[in-house]
């Protein structure tokens, strides 16, 4: 006979956990201590919850346990205080998940080489959680994915234990909204979209995040919450593709797209400025839209805007390299295959050290493929970490940034517009500058040696 659990019984299981959340007596486990998980773990610890961070890389718990942070959003000083007060600790022993009242999954959701969703990290983590799943526990997925992932992928893995969502344990989804390098919006200041698998799960997820962040947005279902994050990133990807296409068109017309955008954004309604660049970077915008295009095929719905945006943004590094090659030939009578190129900025956006999906890596690879000697300088990235797509670049070190170094290259390519770069020194000593971010003009410098790309 199937076991029947009434709503009253589910509430009786939920109520003690809700009381522990309210009293800050609950233990929170955060799986994945990267750019999403570590800021969340620090925020939950600061909110008064005993927080345990889990990561399969043993080096991360070891580093964090010493009070040192490798994520800019969490300072070593604040982390050391949380470790010293025993509000936060890190481990690679996943058996300790059994002692947590609430488990949050913050693991990567990359693409396969065929641009299909790679949910291997989510599945593996869900199986790990299932091995230690306890009655009354709350499990929340934060990893970005297509609508239906929590319900169709995570839930069956957890229910294979014989426990049932909404009666024995409680399942939720809350998409991460981290913006690395944005000092105006910390983890707790960004409104949180939350949803649960049923009313009791929703109550519990709402109680947890309501104790950690300033504002909650509760939506009707897990799938809706997943769609919110996908929509945010599709919106940005499509609009960035639009201005990247306008950049190419206006350049052919002899117009400066940056000047056009600056003038257009003076309109107080009906326009929102987006800016072109050498390609898309970061974990979200280059990847997440393709999760929706993949999912939409199951419903026989084409996603032409999203796929076209992906084509345009993916083509930008080659456009930049072509502009560089043309400028070298026309201005210096130098072939790209015999040129020395200095790339400024390895991070995917300014003032951070995050290189995930950075277009700078693709630029370096493309330039090297065409025979150029390529170096990079990034004050935030001393050496290239291991990456899935450009493993051959692993370990290359940032070169010095001084007058003699800059002068030794035939061209300097500004890929990331870090504020700390001395653009005056760069322009004084560079033979040719390819500026993909309008960095020189924004710093107040103009020169006939600058080519915008």
Active site residue ranges: 284
What is the enclosing helix (H) or strand (E) of 19?
helix 7-22
What are phi and psi for residue 252, nearest 5 degrees? -65, -30
Cα separations (Å) of 61 from 65, 66, 170, 335?
A: 6, 9, 27, 49
Cα separations (Å) of 91 from 137, 147, 333, 344, 442?
A: 19, 31, 57, 37, 45
The dihedral formed by the CA atoms of 213, 215, 218 and 223, expressed in degrees to the nearest 10: -60
What is the enclosing helix (H) or strand (E) of 206?
helix 199-210
Q: Tokens in use for 306? A: 């999203």
Residues 28 and 104: beta-carbon distance below 8 Å: yes
What is the full DSSP assignment across 145-197? Answer: --TTHIIIIIHHHHHTTS--BTTTBEEEE------TT-TT--TTTS-EEEEES
Residues 193 and 168: beta-carbon distance below 8 Å: no
Place of tokens 């319900």: 151
Cα separations (Å) of 141 from 21, 77, 389?
A: 18, 28, 26
Fill in the DSSP letter of residue 319.
H
Cα separations (Å) of 438 from 65, 166, 240, 442, 450?
A: 41, 52, 15, 6, 10
Closest-CA residue to 291 (of 152, 145, 177, 141): 145
């Amino acid at each position: 006979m199937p076991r029947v659990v009434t709503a009253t019984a589910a509430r009786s299981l939920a109520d003690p956990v809700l009381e522990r959340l309210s009293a800050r007596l609950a233990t929170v486990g955060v799986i994945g201590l990267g750019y999403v998980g570590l800021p969340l773990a620090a925020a939950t610890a600061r909110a008064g919850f005993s927080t345990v961070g889990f990561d399969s890389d043993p080096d991360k718990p070891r580093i964090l346990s010493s009070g040192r942070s490798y994520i800019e959003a969490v300072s070593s000083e604040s982390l050391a205080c949380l470790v010293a007060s025993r509000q936060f600790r890190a481990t690679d022993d996943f058996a300790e998940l059994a002692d947590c009242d609430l488990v949050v999954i913050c693991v990567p959701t990359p693409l396969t080489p065929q641009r299909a969703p790679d949910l291997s990290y989510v599945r593996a983590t869900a199986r790990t959680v299932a091995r230690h799943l306890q009655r009354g526990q709350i499990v929340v997925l934060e990893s970005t994915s297509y609508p239906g992932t929590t319900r169709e992928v995570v839930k069956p893995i957890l229910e294979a234990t014989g426990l049932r969502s909404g009666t024995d344990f409680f399942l939720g989804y809350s998409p991460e909204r981290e913006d690395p390098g944005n000092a105006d919006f910390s983890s707790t200041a960004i409104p949180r979209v939350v949803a649960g698998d049923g009313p009791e799960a929703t109550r519990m997820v709402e109680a947890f995040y309501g104790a950690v962040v300033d504002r909650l947005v509760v939506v009707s279902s897990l799938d809706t919450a997943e769609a919110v994050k996908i929509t945010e990133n599709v919106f940005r990807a499509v609009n960035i593709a639009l201005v990247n296409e306008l950049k190419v068109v206006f350049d052919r017309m002899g117009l400066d797209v940056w000047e056009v955008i600056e003038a257009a954004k003076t309109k107080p309604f009906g326009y929102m400025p987006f800016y072109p660049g050498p390609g898309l970077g970061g974990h979200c915008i280059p990847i997440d839209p393709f999760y929706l295009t993949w999912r939409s095929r199951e419903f026989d719905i084409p996603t032409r805007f999203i796929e076209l945006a992906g084509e345009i943004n993916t083509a930008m590094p080659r456009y930049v390299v072509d502009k560089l090659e043309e400028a070298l030939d026309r201005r210096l009578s130098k072939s790209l295959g015999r040129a020395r190129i200095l790339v400024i900025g390895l991070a995917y956006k300014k003032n951070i050290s995050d290189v995930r999906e950075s277009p700078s890596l693709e630029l370096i690879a493309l330039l090297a493929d065409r025979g150029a000697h390529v170096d990079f300088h990034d004050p935030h990235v001393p050496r290239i970490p291991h990456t899935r797509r450009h493993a051959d670049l692993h370990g290359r070190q940032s070169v010095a940034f001084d007058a003699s170094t800059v002068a030794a290259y035939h061209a300097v390519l500004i890929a990331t517009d870090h504020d700390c770069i001395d653009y005056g020194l760069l322009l004084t000593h560079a033979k040719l500058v390819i500026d993909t971010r309008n960095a020189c003009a924004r710093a107040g410098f103009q020169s006939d040696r600058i080519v915008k790309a």
